[in-house]
Amino acid sequence: MSKQDGSSRQVTTGPVDDSATPILHVDMDAFFVSVELLSRPELRGKPVLVGGTAGRGVVAAASYEARRYGVNSAMPMSIALQRCPNAVVLRGNYPAYSEYSKRVMRIFEQITPLVEPLSIDEAFLDVSGARRLHGTPAEIAWSIRDRVQRETGLTCSIGVAATKYVAKVASGRAKPDGMLVVPAADTVAFLHPLPVSALWGVGRVTEESLQRIGLRTVGDVASMPEDALVRAVGPALAARLARLAMGDDPREVHTTRTERSIGHEQTFGHDLTDPVVIRRELLQLSGNVAVRLRKAGLVARTVSLKLRYGDFRTLTRSRTLAEPTDVARRIYDEASEALDGLIGDGARVRLIGVRAENLRESGTGAMLWDPDEEWRDAERTIDRVAARFGRDAVRPAALVQREQERERRREQRREQRGPERPDEPFDPNAAAWGW
């Protein structure tokens, strides 16, 4: 039995057929904000935002009180504060988010070994083998919600369904602090009234394409002739959306996840015009990507550069390597060459990103030669030093100069206007990796 309140929230309140619904999607409620409120209980019930305030800072998380004003994550903080001027803004605490994430994931792993983390605050669980010890899927979901609240003080929402896709939709419908079971026999009836944006992978552009041909609900997509759907979104996406619209999702819960790509990007508080400064930022991003590759035991065959100008024009360039690498120097050299011709002549750069793609496990496949052997040895030595003394203990000289210049600018601002918040934008990607 489920009920729906005056909003779109829908939760299970009584007995329900969960015999064929072994997949759980657990999603922490406003995770970053909720962790902050554990040490700031006086802010409960108030609109709270986590994110950066300087320049082009963005909202990393918003409390449900703030969301009532139309504020959401990834929104520019300047717009969020226009919509909700009385919001309390907090800078964020990466180590605390990482620690609470580990505590929550340990609870999941005590229920079932089949846990697939999606991010720092959500995961899929397959409880097929846990029924004899822990009860039915619905009982397990109730138990998880209770344990998370008792052991961490945080709340979560859980979707229970026959497939990963439907479970994820259900957890979203149950937010905040709810649980929704979708019986296997009711999958189609549950999905078809939902807007097309509920289909996994449908963003704003795809949604507009579907609406142009009169498709506004999942049911509309399910009943659309295949050839018309193909003309709207292409054959591959049309086939996937048609399957999802009927609740067809064959993917299993995997306990290990192979990264398809690893990347870092930076939006600047003001547009950059100096090529030297731009390449210095590129060096920092390349180093961050290389560290993550080595931690994951992966190497990349392709390096991609993303560049966004002050007028929001966005370019991407990719370079394929002769041999895969996890070395920052090689990643920087390739990205820097891709950057040639894209800056200078007054170009104003708003964002830079570096991404490693076409990944494989390090050490797989025979290399004819290793062009980065010396640099690789040096960077692995730096990794060992960083593990003991911190990542800033050893850095390229250019990055030391970069930090010194930033500190001089901060000091100048302090002298002119008094103390202010740090000007580093909040990076939710850093939080996701515990950096």
Closest CA to 338 of 315, 357, 322, 358: 315
76 or 83, which is more confident? Answer: 83
Query: How far is Cα 17 from Cα 327, in angstroms, rounded to an integer?
Result: 52
Beta strands at 156-161 and 23-28: parallel, antiparallel or unpaired? antiparallel
Residue-wise pLDDT tens digits, 3-22: 555 457 899 988 999 999 99
Active site residue 122: yes
- Is the whole model's pTM more than 0.75, yes or no? no
CA separation, residue 181 to residues 28, 139, 249, 404 (Å)? 17, 11, 17, 55
Using one digit for the tens of pLDDT, what is the confidence trace for 255-278?
866 567 899 999 888 899 999 999
> Buried b / exposed e across 176-202, counting CB within 10 Å, b at 16+?
bbbbbbbbbebbeebbbebbbebbeeb
Least-confidence region, from 46-50, 152-156, 288-292, 367-371: 367-371
36, 122, 281, 334: which is the annotated catalytic residue? 122
Residue 427 pLDDT: 44
Which pLDDT band holds residue 124 (cuts at 50, 70, 90)?
very high
H helical segments located in 175-322: 187-191, 204-212, 218-223, 226-233, 235-245, 275-296
Query: DSSP of 353-394, one letter per residue?
Result: EEEEEEEEETT-S--S--TTHHHHHHHHHHHHHHHHH-GGGS
Using alpha carbons only, how large is the chain's radius of gyration in Å? 24
pLDDT at 185 over 90: yes
Rounded distance between C-alpha atoms, residue 119 and residue 106, angstroms: 14
How far apart (Å, rounded) are the C-alpha atoms in residues 18 and 159?
11
Amino acid identity for residue 427 in this structure: D
Binding residues for Mg(2+): 27, 121
Instruction: Give the model confidence (pLDDT) of 398-425 as tens digits.
Output: 554 555 555 565 566 566 655 444 444 4
The full set of domains in the chain, from first to last, is 19-184+403-435 (3.30.70.270), 192-245 (1.10.150.20), 261-395 (3.30.1490.100)
